[in-house]
Structure 1
């Protein structure tokens, strides 16, 4: 997978990205104007206030808070067991003011950073993840992705773009690039013999590509630009060009393909299939 500049690769880098994104969220929350908290965001069913309640409650979850015993079945946007778990944590804080949520986020993140920076803390320490137990690095990879995506949700609702050149943005792009072989070969089911390149123009500049091969009856995405010596043969290639914002909003599932600004060189139908399959947020 090609390098994404400034993407954190170790626990120290992830901790720094986490701290920076939390600071951005606190700054946004502290500068809300009357009516801002009630604004709808691109995350179905969630207002700006709900976004802050989610960020805080999920941080409490990874620090050991048990699942609240609450009924969330009346929410139309809760459509699977994972979403129900997330909503139960959020629901437990829906009655709190933004000021209370920001105070809790400050306390939780301060404790979290102190733990991450403790010299006795190991990247391999066990930690909870969204899909089951993982290690601390895996947990922080998920946390930075989630926090940055929700920061962008809030920014979008407020009309205050920013942090598109941050370490959190670079980490989100790297996460998308890591999933790209599976997206192209399996989710989008691009035919064997085809190649797809994703070209991001910035502020985070990056390029990744995949060719599809069939092996033992199964489609496999083989990375291009990997630095290896594989012969890629005759591959018909489609290139999709997007900005950092367009790619990450689509990857988060917040903006539909038809509302995404992109350019294509090659097969338009394949590009559409890949963009439709690009969502990596749970």
Structure 2
């Protein structure tokens, strides 16, 4: 896997990446026209206002705010318990003034920075993450990915592209690259003897690849470009080239692959399956 700019390698740098994308969400909210808050976004059921409410409320949840008792059963886009928790937090903030919501987001940013940048915090502290026990460093990286994806949702709705080459963008792309072996072998069911290369043309430039082998009767994705020297059989390679924006719209399940520009060299059916399987967000 190669990536430029690279994803942050330390906890302090990850905190900086998280803070930058949260500030970007707040800045977009402060500088848009008030009526733009009601624009629909690529997240089903969520407006621009709802996106900002999600970022603010998710950070509040990390800080310990309990999930409110709100009935969200009437929303068809809420598909599981995790989605219901997030929807309840957003729903509890609907009806508030946009400026008040942005005040909350900016206050929460500073409050969290005070925690993350404290002298005795290393990032190795055990915490409860959205999917179970983890470390503080991994939690902040997960929050960075989530906020950046929603920043891009807001930018798409406002038609204000940007921040596709930031450290937060690199964190997000690295998450996509990390799931590529599973996506190709398990979700896309790429046959053994095939390889898939994902080539991002920028602004965050990167390349990741996987070859599929049969091991113990099951297909397994083996990462490429790791620097290893092990011999392996020849494979049929399919290369998918696309921009950072396109790759991450696919990763978030925000757009159908047929609606986005992707250059395919190789097996069209393998490409179709992999593009569908790139959506890995819950």
So what's the TM-score if we normalise by structure 2?
0.98
Please give the per-residue CA displacement for 1:216-255, whole angstroms capped at 9, x wherever unaligned. Answer: 0111111111101111321100000000000011101101
Q: Which residues of structure 2 form unaligned runs of 5+? A: none
Matched, 1:151 2:148: no
The Cα shift of 1:80 comes to 1.2
> How many Å separate the matches in 2 of 1:91 and 1:128?
23
Matches within 5 A, 1:210-221: 210-221=210-221
> Structure 1: any 5+ residue segments left out of the alignment?
none
Query: Secondary structure of the residue that 1:229 maps to in structure 2?
Result: coil
CA distance in 1, matches of 2:3, 2:159: 31
In structure 2, the partner of 1:27 is 27
The CA distance in 2 between the partners of 1:178 and 1:247, in whole Å, is 13
Distance in 2 (CA, whole Å) between partners of 1:131 and 1:63 is 16
Matched pairs, number: 282
2:81 counterpart residue number: 81
1:166 aligns with 2:157: no
**Per-residue CA distance 1:186-236 (angstroms, 9 max, x = gap):** 111100010000000000110010000111011111111110111132110
2-structure distance, mates of 1:50, 1:3: 32
Kept after mapping to 2: 8 A contact 1:130/1:142: no
Query: How many angstroms apart in 1 are the aligned matches of 2:33 and 2:202?
Result: 30
Preserved CA contact (<8 Å) 2:3 2:204: no
| TM norm structure 1 | 0.98
**1:141 Cα shift?**
1.3
Q: CA deviation at 1:264?
A: 0.6
CA–CA separation in structure 2 for the residues paired with 1:233 and 1:270: 19
CA contact (8 A) 1:4 1:174 kept: no
Counterpart position of 2:43: 43
Name the structure 2 match of 1:12.
12
Provide the residue aligned with 2:92 in structure 1: 92
Shift of 1:139: 0.5
Shift of 1:54: 0.6
Query: 4+ residue runs of structure 1 moved beyond 6 angstroms?
Result: none
Contact 1:57/1:89 (<8 A) preserved: yes
Whether contact under 8 Å (1:78, 1:84) holds in the other structure is yes
Residue equivalent to 2:250: 250
CA contact (8 A) 1:181 1:222 kept: yes
In structure 2, distance between residues paired with 1:272 and 1:234: 22
Instruction: Name the Cα RMSD after superposition.
Output: 1.0
Q: Contact 2:5–2:165 at 8 Å: present in 1 too?
A: no
